[in-house]
Structure 1
Amino acid sequence: MTGPDPKSDLHHYLGVARDALLWKLEGLAEYDVRRPLTPTGTNLLGLVKHVSGCEIGYFGETFGRPFPDPPAWLRDDAEPNADMWATADEAREDVVGLYRRACEHADATITELALDAPGVVAHWPEERRRVTLHQILVHMVSETTRHAGHADVVRELVDGAVGVRRDLSNLPPGDRRWWSGYRDRLETAAREAGRG
């Protein structure tokens, strides 16, 4: 699991976040993995697609290790936000497959390079674009965990499923009735605070 090696620790937590993100797609219909459930269009498959691009760029181009055959939606001339949703022609299996290949490519970079290996993030501001593998690992643990959190909320809106894994909700035990009462209590407290 984790130990005295910082690279192994970071790699482990990146893996945990990756697994959490992919779990959010399990057992859902095509419509549900693509549905935009926020005003900005956040959807489960789009989050996986976006993080695929992050893995490809940060662990590939940054360290002079380009990903073979990168998708067209990663080009500079791609439609804005093309990485945040899947078209009807983009199969879920293809998006998930791309993510798995991007992670394998990233894992090779992580394994083969030292934490102090230098890289350049071309799209970052000049004063911050020179990085190390250590910085990028921290960035990607943060990035992936952030989007896994988005996916957790979206999945809860779809069918009520929550947690890091199917077998680990990381929430107090309670049935639907308990959670309904709990939510009502929070709503009451929010209304009272809003009036005060």
Structure 2
Amino acid sequence: MNRERTDLLETLGKHRFFLRNTTRELADADARKRTTVSALHLGGLIKHVTATERAWADFILTGPAAFDTGGDWAAWEAQHTMLETETLEELLAEYALVAARTDELIATLPDLDADQPLPAAPWFEPGARWSARRVLVHILAETSQHAGHADIIRESLDGAKSMG
């Protein structure tokens, strides 16, 4: 494997660890608690990052169809909330499966320059295309950003620090 792919895997792994580490030794009820004025909570962040990484990895392989919600915005919104029927252990296990799949893509994609058209959306430039490399960098940025959010939430919850 070349250095670029190794760097992507190592850096993404580090930021995934930071995110997962915010949930260490937490009960499910604590993972559902909102500790700031936002609606974010740790379980919901894990669930959201999992869904986001899954969708972007699908995009690398199948293009814009990976983002088709079928108009089910309630299901999309539910990906941000840890439901009473869900456990943190289950959410972390699903995240591990999605991460392993993305890592396999990073290691085996024939060409990181291969691109797909972005779906039509107000937040994307019309006609834009993203390479697999750009998508992977985006996954890394999303993971890192949400790890920072999670660190603040965890510190507000019980004073525990995850990243510093």
User: TM-score if structure 1 supplies the norm length?
Assistant: 0.71
Amino acid at match of 1:100: A
Report if the CA contact (8 A) 1:24-1:151 is conserved: yes
User: Residue 126 of structure 1: CA displacement?
Assistant: 5.0
Q: Deviations over 1:93-151 (max 9, x none)?
A: 22111111111111121111122122344265353641111101111111100000000
Secondary structure, counterpart of 1:131 in structure 2: strand
Gaps of 5+ in 2: 64-68
Indicate conservation of the 8 Å contact 2:46/2:91, yes or no.
yes
For the residue of structure 1 that corresponds to 2:130, the secondary structure is: strand
1:155 aligns with 154
Structure 2 equivalent of residue 26 of structure 1: 24
Match runs of 1:132-147 below 5 Å:
132-147=131-146
Bigger Rg, structure 1 or 2: 1
Q: Which runs of 5+ in 1 are unaligned?
A: 66-73, 170-196
Give the number of equivalent residue pairs.
155
Closer/same/farther in 2, CA of residues 151 and 138 from structure 1, 3 Å limit? same
Partner of 1:12: 10
Give the percent of matched residue pairs that are identical in Structure 1 and Structure 2: 31
Residue of structure 2 in register with 1:131 after alignment: 130
RMSD: 2.2
Look up the equivalent residue of 1:98 and give its one-letter code.
E
Residue equivalent to 2:80: 84
Q: Secondary structure at the match of 1:19?
A: helix
* Structure 2 match to 1:71: none
CA distance in 2, matches of 1:123, 1:136: 16
CA separation in 2, counterparts of 1:89 and 1:123?
34
Over residues 36-63 of structure 1, what are the superposed CA-to-partner deviations in whole Å (9 max), with x where a residue is unaligned?
1222211001100000011101112332
The CA deviation at 1:64 is: 2.1
For residues 36-47 of structure 1, the aligned pairs below 5 Å read: 36-47=34-45
Partners of 2:98 and 2:162 in 1: how far apart?
24
Q: Which has the higher contact order (CA 8 A, sep 6+)?
A: 2
TM, length-normalised to structure 2: 0.83
